[in-house]
């Protein structure tokens, strides 16, 4: 039987026409294709396993709360008039591992810690509430305060997680963010 195709592999397989095994018979076709499929499957599995072990997942939770409070900040050395906001605080905590219950940590614990951090400000005047009785009560300063408080609290309560950021919104489209470094 004549074959007018070119050889493209050392095992005698051909392209463009009838494929034959090394001995020229058709029985080599199945084993050649099987070897190729097994090799591709094994390579893909090894690649996936290597990828899975080389990249560690990071899990994150976001928790938010709101509180009403007034403030009067200094702008250009001039104190603005006292006015109120419905402040919104959102935090993100992260960690590399879930616990035995498949949790990064308990949402309720984080909600409680955040609520405790902002409790002194609820329905009050920030300018009269420490530390803002000494610090200009900007959204940035509130975010920094919450970040400092939660970093310390989380380190004690859940050492496997860390605070990623705190976002404080004092009015729609007016948000300050503190990003933490590890």
**DSSP assignment string, 5-19:** -EE-STT--EESS--
**C-alpha to C-alpha distances, 112 to 64, 153, 156, nearest whole angstrom:** 11, 11, 14
Q: Which two tokens stand for residue 60?
A: 């994150």
Query: 90, 63 in Cβ contact below 8 A?
Result: yes
- pLDDT confidence of residue 86: 97
For residue 43, what pLDDT is reported? 54
Of all residues in the chain, the percent with pLDDT exceeding 70 is: 68
pTM score? 0.69
Higher model confidence: residue 101 or residue 31?
101
pLDDT per residue as tens digits for the range 86-97: 999 999 999 999
Residue of higher predicted confidence among 30 and 75: 75
Number of H helices, E strands in the chain: 3, 9
Q: Which of 17, 127, 18, 30 is nearest to 73 (CA)?
A: 127
Q: pLDDT tens digit string along 83-140?
A: 999 999 999 999 999 999 999 999 999 999 999 999 999 999 999 999 999 999 999 9
């Amino acid at each position: 039987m004549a074959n007018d195709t070119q050889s493209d592999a050392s095992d005698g397989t051909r392209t463009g026409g009838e494929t034959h095994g090394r001995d020229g018979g058709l029985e080599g076709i199945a084993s050649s294709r099987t070897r190729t499929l097994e090799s591709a499957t094994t390579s893909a599995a090894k690649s996936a396993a290597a990828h899975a072990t080389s990249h560690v997942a990071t899990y994150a939770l976001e928790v938010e709360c709101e509180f009403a409070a007034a403030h009067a900040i200094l702008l250009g050395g001039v104190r603005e008039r006292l006015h109120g906001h419905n402040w919104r605080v959102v935090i993100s905590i992260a960690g590399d591992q879930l616990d035995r219950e498949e949790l990064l940590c308990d949402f309720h614990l984080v909600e409680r810690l955040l609520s405790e951090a902002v409790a002194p400000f609820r329905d009050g005047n920030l300018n009269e509430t420490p530390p803002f009785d000494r610090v200009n009560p900007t959204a940035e300063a509130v975010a920094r305060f919450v970040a400092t408080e939660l970093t310390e609290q989380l380190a004690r309560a859940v050492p496997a997680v860390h605070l990623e950021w705190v976002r404080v919104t004092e009015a729609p489209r007016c948000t300050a963010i503190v990003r933490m470094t590890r």
